[in-house]
């Protein structure tokens, strides 16, 4: 994993001290809230419904065990004992007092963490595939490039006053787990005909009130030209992106209104016009230096199969099921990728207690080369676990309430904090998720339904990614009452699509029975048990499912 050099360390330490002074001046009344607000937002401090919220960056979702322990410590000492994984692989603490935040930032600086680029109209935390560096599906590890983008974008003066916030995601696997087509820029690592590694550049994706799937404006940009090309995109956006209306200021609006072909021409012209002196020289030695931090850990040479693993599965059916649902193939023989579900039935999706953080840190230290990943689907990952160790990992997770076997199943719901916390929300989202989890709690039923992604947002800003849920749920306010609009057919993978609204909104209590009818219809009409809900929807169209949704009316 990447480690700070002395300059990085000094910068985050100084940043914490600067904020300490700013907070002191605010608390003494020496600066007004209008003066202070941009300063706190630049340090990830938002004001929510009944407390401040601190959002901390987890670069490309990769964490060390000691960093997770620091989160646990912060949760215990400064919050109410838990944290919340966000849909951009970050963590939020929902109850931190302003007066304590300088101390929190200081503690974070001690483990090479901060809250920079978690708010404001800048390039935010670059996100990636949570299986990066572990899956055999990828052509390269995308994380060195995420780190290079992070270093290029942080404090870059040209990007400190963008029309709106800007989000970049990178993947190197054909199966997209990073939702790159619904980001401002999505980068898909590819090889060209000469076998060189580079990037497909996808621009203009996004969710919010005007969702768009991104479009490819360049099939291949070489590694040595990536930053120059990104800079060309950013310059076109900076020049032509709207600043008069925040709802039309994202790059997706510019790309859509300009037209993808014309936008691509503008970028190419900007790229060509860059003078030699402007070019970002990224020496191979620097790429190699950063890549070295992401070198594969010291894997043991092991056989493909593990007799200990097979024996444990034979004697413990619950373990066998968990292993089938929550683990994925690793590139290294004898190892596995473990997804730790943070979606236990009936609990707020993405919330993790300080004790669970400590347990996860223990497991990472003992079994996964100290590495942990946070997913944009609000789960955790131990990326490198030996098959021989899976049973002990499972038993430890089970004891900590972290062994829910539902990865990618109907109860693995993405959910924003909603009106229970968020100052922007129109409706609650967590209680709807909890009711749906309770409705579909039966594990055999979940298995039978198979992969199905439900995503819930409490307002049109779409932090819960409802636009790209196979079934999306959007909370709306209708004269003071909560209603929920259902969408079908969204997806955030390599076939990214925006879901279509099924019809009138439903009351909260009507959502679970309505979705039960939809699921029963799916089970009735699927061509075979392995046909997923999203595939049946695409094969049959939405009408049968809409009829089922409203069948009670």
Residues engaged in binding another protein (CB under 8 A)? 26-29, 32-34, 47-52, 80, 95, 97-99, 348, 419-421, 428, 430-431, 434, 479-480, 482
Among residues 234, 254, 257, which one has the least CA distance to residue 185? 234
User: Which residues have C-beta within 8 Å of that of residue 371, sequence separation ≥ 6?
Assistant: 1, 62, 63, 64, 65, 297, 364, 382, 383, 384
Question: How many of the other CB atoms lie within 10 Å of CB of 423?
Answer: 11
Q: In whole angstroms, how close is the CB of 506 to another protein at the nearest point?
A: 17
Q: What is the dihedral of CA 403, 60, 473, 501, to 10 degrees?
A: -140
Rounded CA-CA distance 512/506 in Å is: 10
Q: In whole angstroms, how close is the CB of 358 to another protein at the nearest point?
A: 19
Among residues 401, 403, 408, which one has the least CA distance to residue 328? 408
How many CA atoms does the CB half-sphere of 462 hold within 13 Å? 20
Rounded CA-CA distance 297/133 in Å is: 10
Query: 29 vs 195, which CB is nearer to another protein?
Result: 29
- 3-class secondary-structure state, position 99: helix
Rounded CA-CA distance 176/132 in Å is: 11
Q: In whole angstroms, how close is the CB of 84 to another protein at the nearest point?
A: 11
Residues in the chain: 553
Query: 306 vs 426, which CB is nearer to another protein?
Result: 426
Query: 430 vs 436, which CB is nearer to another protein?
Result: 430
- Residue 159 burial (C-beta neighbours within 10 Å; 0-12, 13-18, 19+): buried
Q: In whole angstroms, how close is the CB of 76 to another protein at the nearest point?
A: 15
For strands 506-507 and 185-191, give the pairing: unpaired
Q: In whole angstroms, how close is the CB of 344 to another protein at the nearest point?
A: 13
Q: In whole angstroms, how close is the CB of 333 to another protein at the nearest point?
A: 43
Query: 49 vs 111, which CB is nearer to another protein?
Result: 49
On whether the CB atoms of residues 88 and 376 are closer than 8 A, the answer is: yes
Query: 78 vs 240, which CB is nearer to another protein?
Result: 78
Helix (H) or strand (E) holding 288: helix 284-292
Which tokens go with 450? 């198979």
Q: What are phi and psi of 435, to 5 degrees?
A: -65, -40
Q: In whole angstroms, how close is the CB of 480 to another protein at the nearest point?
A: 4
- 3-class secondary-structure state, position 267: helix
Query: 246 vs 289, which CB is nearer to another protein?
Result: 246
Query: 336 vs 434, which CB is nearer to another protein?
Result: 434
Q: In whole angstroms, how close is the CB of 275 to another protein at the nearest point?
A: 44
Rounded CA-CA distance 551/514 in Å is: 8
Query: 231 vs 412, which CB is nearer to another protein?
Result: 412
Q: In whole angstroms, how close is the CB of 429 to another protein at the nearest point?
A: 10
Query: 77 vs 321, which CB is nearer to another protein?
Result: 77
- 3-class secondary-structure state, position 315: helix
Query: 207 vs 411, which CB is nearer to another protein?
Result: 411
Q: In whole angstroms, how close is the CB of 47 to another protein at the nearest point?
A: 6
Strand partners, 372: 63
């Amino acid at each position: 994993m990447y480690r700070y050099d002395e300059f990085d360390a000094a910068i985050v330490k100084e940043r914490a001290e600067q904020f300490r002074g700013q907070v002191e001046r605010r608390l003494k009344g020496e600066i007004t809230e209008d003066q202070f607000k941009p300063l706190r937002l630049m340090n990830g401090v938002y004001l929510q419904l009944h407390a401040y919220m601190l959002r901390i960056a987890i670069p490309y979702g990769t964490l060390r065990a000691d960093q997770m322990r620091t989160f646990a410590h912060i949760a215990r000492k400064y919050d109410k004992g838990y944290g919340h994984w966000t849909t951009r692989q970050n963590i939020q603490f929902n109850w931190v007092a302003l007066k304590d935040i300088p101390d929190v930032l200081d503690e974070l600086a001690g483990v090479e963490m901060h809250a920079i680029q978690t708010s404001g109209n800048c390039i935010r935390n670059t996100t990636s595939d949570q299986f990066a560096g572990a899956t055999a599906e990828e052509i390269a590890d995308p994380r060195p490039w995420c780190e290079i983008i992070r270093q290029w974008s942080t404090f870059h003066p040209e990007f400190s006053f963008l029309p709106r916030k800007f989000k970049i995601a990178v993947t190197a696997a054909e199966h997209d787990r990073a939702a790159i087509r619904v980001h401002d820029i999505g980068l898909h690592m590819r090889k060209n005909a000469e076998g060189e590694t580079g990037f497909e550049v996808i621009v203009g994706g996004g969710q919010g009130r005007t969702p768009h799937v991104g479009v490819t404006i360049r099939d291949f940009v070489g590694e040595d030209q990536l930053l120059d090309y990104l800079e060309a995109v950013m310059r076109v956006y900076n020049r032509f992106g709207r600043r008069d209306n925040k709802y039309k200021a994202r790059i997706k609006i510019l790309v859509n209104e300009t037209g993808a072909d014309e936008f691509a021409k503008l970028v190419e012209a900007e790229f060509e016009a860059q003078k030699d002196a402007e070019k970002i020289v990224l020496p191979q030695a620097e790429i190699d230096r950063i890549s070295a931090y992401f070198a594969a850990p010291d894997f043991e040479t092991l056989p493909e199969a593990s007799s200990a693993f097979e024996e444990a599965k034979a004697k413990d059916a619950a373990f066998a099921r968990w292993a089938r649902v929550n683990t994925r193939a690793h590139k290294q023989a004898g190892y596995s990728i473990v997804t730790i579900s943070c979606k236990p039935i009936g609990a707020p999706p993405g919330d993790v207690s300080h004790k669970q953080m400590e347990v996860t840190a223990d497991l990472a230290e003992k079994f996964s080369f100290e590495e942990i990943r946070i997913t944009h689907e609000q789960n955790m990952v131990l990326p490198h676990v030996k098959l021989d160790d899976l049973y002990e990992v499972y038993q430890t997770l089970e004891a900590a309430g972290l062994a829910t076997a539902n990865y990618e199943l109907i109860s693995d719901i993405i959910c924003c904090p909603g009106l229970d916390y968020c100052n922007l929300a129109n409706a609650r989202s967590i209680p709807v998720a909890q009711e749906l989890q309770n409705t579909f709690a039966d594990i055999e039923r979940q298995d039978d339904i198979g992969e199905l992604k439900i995503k819930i947002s409490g307002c049109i800003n779409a932090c819960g990614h409802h636009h790209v849920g196979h079934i999306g749920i959007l909370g709306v306010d209708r004269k003071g009452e909560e209603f929920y609009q259902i969408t079908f057919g969204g997806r955030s993978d390599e076939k990214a699509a925006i879901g279509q609204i099924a019809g009138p909104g439903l009351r909260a209590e009507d959502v679970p029975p309505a979705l039960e009818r939809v699921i029963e219809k799916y089970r009735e009409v699927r061509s075979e048990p392995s046909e997923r809900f999203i595939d049946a929807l695409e094969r049959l169209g939405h009408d049968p499912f809409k009829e089922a949704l409203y069948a009670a009316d």
